[in-house]
Amino acid sequence: MRDRDFYVQLHLHTAESSRCARVGGADMARACKEAGYDLIVVTDHFFNANINVPYDIPWEEQVDALFAGYREAKAEGDRIGLKVLRGWETYTDGPEYLTYGLDEEFLVKNRDIALLPKAQYLRRVKSAGALVSHAHPFRKASYIPDFLPDPVGLDAVEVFNGRHMDPSFDVQALKFARRHNLPGVAGADAHNAVHILDGAMRFPYPVETAAEVFAAIKRGDGEIVPNMTGRL
């Protein structure tokens, strides 16, 4: 019998929209439901990253394709009783930002959004009501140039990433979040169904929207769950 806590996954990818993902949205939704999640956010890679969207089609069709995995996950989530929200993970010359709370309409009206440098991107999405978390700010990888994380414009920092084999990446992220008085969050960064077990958020009450999730996090009501195995 499950407890009354509410489990949320803030960082996952689908094969429909992220080229590096291995599982489609519907299968990801089923895996998350089986793992015990109540709400997930599909955060596929954005137009300036490892995206599974052709660039030689009209902008409106590119936007539609970006959310293909989300739509598959949402349709299955509606069927099985899993809340599914949309977001994306953008790349800005080093920093990667998980962006929540915006939709297709915003992107259709902002066709230059993927071309903006970091500061302008953050100003644009924040002015539209977005909530932004810095994904894995201290990850070292061949595709990430050296940069210094900046707290400006952030609502949270991903201080536990389920794909990190080097714990020092998360330790540095936690220090950064504390230094700048920002809440720390977890994310699986899932690219397949096994990954979704690592890096969950737990809340003592239901949250239904990105705004509610981040309001709860800022109140200190969100708890990091490193692994979902054995939770049920």
Average pLDDT, the chain: 92
Mean pLDDT of the region 15-40 = 97
Confidence band of 1 (pLDDT split at 50, 70, 90): very low
Confidence band of 37 (pLDDT split at 50, 70, 90): very high
- The yes-or-no verdict on residue 165 having pLDDT over 80 is no
Q: What is the reported pTM? A: 0.94
Confidence band of 144 (pLDDT split at 50, 70, 90): low
Q: What residues have CB less than 8 Å from 79, skipping those under 6 apart?
A: none
Q: What is the pLDDT of residue 50?
A: 85
* Both structure tokens of 83: 């809340």
* All structural domains of the chain: 6-227 (3.20.20.140)
146/163: higher pLDDT: 163
Q: What is the pLDDT of residue 43?
A: 98
Q: What is the pLDDT of residue 72?
A: 98
Does residue 99 contact residue 88 with C-beta atoms inside 8 Å? Answer: yes
Rounded to whole angstroms, the Cα distance separating 163 from 136 reads 10
